[in-house]
Amino acid sequence: MLNRIRPLVTQVFVAAARGFSRLGFTPNAVTLLGFAVTAIGAWLILLRLYPYAVTLVAIGGFMDGVDGALARLLNRVTKFGGALDSVLDRYGDALIIAAAWYSMRVMPVLGFFALAGSLITSYSRARLEVTGLSLSSVGILERPERMIILVLTLIFSAYANYFFIALAVLANFTVVQRVVYGWRKLGDS
């Protein structure tokens, strides 16, 4: 959905990656630091310190884009780095969603489907890409859009149930889009 502004966002990530490079950071160090920032943000959500949490969640999400840009800049793209980034992204997503679900007293069914949809969206992409398909623009709700919804949830916490409805519906719809795309491209092979 945000693919239209991807070139602009990429330039911002590359500029930040240059700064991290000058400071001596490795791509995996940025990944780990970004996850740590996100985890602290989730802790602040549990404490209901939403203004501080939203800042850290946004910074953690930003750092998730910087680590890959830094890896490309330094010509240090590795399979392990990609796997580490992906795994920590899922943990970060789960921490943020679970913390908001709990602290904002979101209806359990909404919390479950938002969390499941967010995790399965990423899993469906990874699983289908193993077959050789490219799913870079398949689906209405990729991670950046999910992060935007979560940041808006923190800013407008009184409406958390509505944001969780949006997250649950759009994330699970994205899973359906990806599965249908895979079925059309791969058939029964």
181 φ, ψ (degrees, to nearest 5): -60, -45
- 64, 67, 89, 93: the active-site residue: 89
What pLDDT digit, counting tens, does each position of 6-37 carry? 778 889 999 999 999 999 999 999 999 999 99
Structural domain including 167 reads 2-186
pLDDT at 84: 96
Judge residue 55's burial from the number of C-beta atoms within 10 Å of its C-beta, 0-12 exposed, 13-18 middle, 19 or more buried.
middle
pLDDT at 71: 96
Report the alpha-carbon distance of residue 37 to residue 34 in Å, rounded.
5
CA atoms within 13 A on the CB side of 52: 12
Token pair recorded at residue 184: 């059309």
| Residue 89 bears catalytic tag | yes
Contact 170, 133 (CB under 8 A): no
**Chain-centre distance for alpha carbon 53:** 16
Contact 57, 154 (CB under 8 A): yes
- In 3D, which of 17, 42, 10, 45 has the Cα closest to residue 144? 10
pLDDT at 5: 75
pLDDT at 10: 85
| b/e per residue 129-138 (b: at least 16 CB within 10 A) | eeeebebeeb
Q: How many domains does the chain have?
A: 1
pLDDT at 135: 86
CATH number for position 65:
1.20.120.1760
pLDDT at 1: 55
Report the alpha-carbon distance of residue 12 to residue 102 in Å, rounded.
33
10-residue averages of pLDDT along the chain (189 residues) = 72 93 97 98 98 96 94 95 95 97 96 97 92 88 90 96 98 96 86
Distance set, CA 137 to CA 61, 102, 105, 134 (Å)? 19, 32, 33, 8
